[in-house]
Structure 1
Amino acid sequence: MKLLSISSLASWIHCPRQFFVQSVLQIKEPINSAMALGLVKHKFHEFLGKNEERIVSSLSASDSARQVLESEYRSLLLQSVRMYVGMLRSVNVLPDDAMKSALPLVVAEADSRASLIAPLLKENMTGDALWQALEPKVKNEYSVESKSLGIKGRIDKLECYNDRLVPIELKSGKTPEQGVFEHHRIQAVSYALMLEDTFQSSVPQAIVHYVDSNARRDVVVDIAARNWVVSTVSAVRSCLESKQVPIGCGKEYCSACKTCDDSRRVTLLLQRGKV
C-alpha cells in the first residue's frame, strides 16, 4: 500500500476539493510569494539542524551566546535566500525583502537557544560537554512514516528531551486568534502518531509554531485525534480510488471549488488521462 503524504491530509482538511484538484486532476497551484518565503524559512531550519552542533560546540565561556548565535543564524538565512533567489525574483520578491521577512524567525531562534546555552556557559561548559548538556536537542526535517496508519512525512522540527519527543510544525503567514487551523492540526497530530508507532512510546503533545508571530500553540494528541487521522486517511484513499468530486469547503473565494463546479472541465481532464 502506497503511503500518503501528510500534506495530502492537510489539503483534504483545508478543502476536499483542493485535494481533488491537486492530487486527482493534478492541477498544481502556481508558486506565489508566500510559498517562496515559506521555502526559505524551511531551508533555514534545515541548515540550522545541520550546523547547530558545530555552532554550539565552538562557543567559549567568554562569548555572548546571543550575539554569536544571531550572527551564525543570519549567515544560514543568507545561504537559504541565495538558494531560492531565482524563485523569489519570479514572484517579485527581492532577496533583501526575503531576509527582512525571515529575520524575526532568526531572532526568535537565537533568543530561545541562547536562553538555554548562556547558563551552561556560566558554568564553564564548552565544546562537547556543552553540546551534551544542552536540552532539548533539535532535529530538523526529520523523516518519519507509519505503515499501520499508511502515512509518511517530514517533521519540520523535532525537540528531543531525555524523556519525551515533541514534534513541531512550522507555519508562515496568518496566525489564528486562538488554537491552530485544522489543516495544521492534522499535520501536527499525524507526526506525533507516527513517532508513537516508530518508537513505541507515547507522544501526547505536538506544537504548531506560527513563526511570523512567534506563537507556539499546543496540540493535544489523544485517541480522538488518532481516530480523526484514521478517518481522514480513509476518506483520502476513497477519493483517489473513486475519482469522484467530493463536497468542497463552499467558501466563495475557493478556486478549487470553482474548478470542480465546472463538471465539463473535470470530465475532460479525467478523460484526457491526466489522472
Structure 2
Amino acid sequence: MTVCAKSAMALLSVSALSSFVQCPRQFFVQYIVGEEVRVNAAMAMGLVKHKFHELVSLREEEFVLQLKAGEDVHSALAQKYGLLAREAVVKYVNSLRAVNVAVQDALARTIPLVQREAEEKARVLAPLIEKGFLGEELWISLVPKVRTEYAVQSKKLGIKGRIDRLELYGSRLLPVELKSGRCPGEGVFEHHRIQAASYALLLEDVFGTHVPEAQVHYVDHAERRSVVMNPFTREWVVDVAAKVTGLKESREVPKGCGQEYCEACKKLSDPLFLAKIRAKQQ
C-alpha cells in the first residue's frame, strides 16, 4: 500500500535511521504517518539521565576550577552532581508525573548514576591534583574535553543529528551515544549501532578527519561498548540512509520486524488503521 507523497526530501535525522533499523514499520508510523511516540516511565527517566549528563558537561569547567588541594574530590563532585540530578528531575517533572513516577522515586533512581559519574571523574582528577595541578592548570590538563548535544549535519550523507556526548582527545574525536535501560550481553543493539556509526561518519565529513571508532554508553550498567568503523559499517550506514529515503519517497507500507510486542507492526496490520491513514492523506 502507498500513501500520497508530501514535500521534497530534507536531511534525515539519525533518530529516524535508528527507528528504521529497529523496525521499518515503527519508522513508518512515527515519521510518515506522524504519530507521536507515547512516553513511558523508562523513556521519561531516560530524558532525565540525558539532561543530567548534559548539565554535568556544561558545568564541568566551573566545578574543576573550584576544586582545592586536600579536598575529597569524589565527595565534592558527588554533592554538586546530586544538585544537577535534582535539576534534571525538575526539568522533566511533568513527564515523570504523566507516567506515575514520583519525584523522590526519580531522584532515587539517579543516585547510582551520580555516584558513578563522580567516581569516574575523581579517578582522573585526583592524580592531577596530587601532582599540584589546580585551577586553570588542572582544567587544561583534563582529558578528554566534552561537548554535549553537539549538532552536526551533512548534505553529502543526507543526514543530521545531535551527538549525546562528543569527547575531544586533542585532535581525536570520539562520538558517544548515551543509552539508559537494557544493555545487550555483548556488543550493542543494532538500532544503537546505526546511531553511533552515523555520528562518526558525520564528524568525518564535517571536519575532514578520520574517526575510527564510536561508542555506546549504557549508563545504567556503566558499560561502554565500541562500534568499530570498518568498511562494512560505513557502507551499512549509507545503505540504511538510502532505504529510508526510498521509503519516504514511495510511502509504501514496509515489512515489519514481526515481533509480538511491536505496536507499529500491529497497527499496520489493522485494516481500520490503514483506512484511517488513507483518509488523512486524501
d(CA) in 1 for partners of 2:117 and 2:165?
12
What is the TM-score of this pair, normalised by structure 2?
0.94
One-letter code of the match for 1:250? Answer: G
d(CA) in 1 for partners of 2:153 and 2:231?
19
The equivalent residue for 1:141 is 149
Please give the residue correspondences for 1:225-264 in structure 2 after superposition, counting only pairs within 5 Å.
Answer: 225-264=233-272
Which of 166, 173, 178 is the aligned partner of 2:186? Answer: 178
SS at match of 1:82: helix
d(CA) in 1 for partners of 2:154 and 2:111?
35
CA RMSD of superposed structures (Å): 1.2
Structure 1: 4+ residue segments shifted above 6 A? none
Larger deviation, residues 264-273 vs 119-128 = 264-273
What is the TM-score of this pair, normalised by structure 1?
0.97
Larger deviation, residues 234-243 vs 12-21 = 234-243
What are the ranges of 5 or more consecutive residues in structure 2 without an aligned counterpart? 1-8
Query: Structure 1, residues 76-122: CA drift from partner, whole Å, max 9, x if none?
Result: 01001011111111100011111121222211111111111001111
Please give the residue correspondences for 1:54-203 in structure 2 after superposition, counting only pairs within 5 Å.
Answer: 54-203=62-211
Q: How far apart are 1:141 and its partner, in Å?
A: 1.1
Query: Structure 1, residues 2-33: CA drift from partner, whole Å, max 9, x if none?
Result: 11111100000000000001111111121110
d(CA) in 2 for partners of 1:79 and 1:25?
35
d(CA) in 2 for partners of 1:216 and 1:80?
23
Q: How far apart are 1:168 and its partner, in Å?
A: 0.6
User: Is 2:227 the partner of 1:222?
Assistant: no
SS at match of 1:261: coil
The equivalent residue for 1:12 is 20
Query: Structure 1, residues 174-208: CA drift from partner, whole Å, max 9, x if none?
Result: 11001100000000000111111111111111111
d(CA) in 2 for partners of 1:237 and 1:107?
43
SS at match of 1:158: strand
Q: How far apart are 1:63 and its partner, in Å?
A: 1.2
Larger deviation, residues 113-122 vs 258-267 = 258-267
One-letter code of the match for 1:176? Answer: P
Which of 42, 46, 65 is the aligned partner of 1:38? Answer: 46
Query: Structure 1, residues 97-150: CA drift from partner, whole Å, max 9, x if none?
Result: 111212222111111111110011111211111100101111111111111111
Which of 200, 203, 208 is the aligned partner of 2:216? Answer: 208
SS at match of 2:281: coil
SS at match of 1:138: strand
SS at match of 1:197: helix
SS at match of 2:38: coil
Q: How far apart are 1:264 and its partner, in Å?
A: 4.3
d(CA) in 2 for partners of 1:226 and 1:146?
15
What are the ranges of 5 or more consecutive residues in structure 1 without an aligned counterpart? none
d(CA) in 2 for partners of 1:153 and 1:243?
23
d(CA) in 2 for partners of 1:98 and 1:181?
26
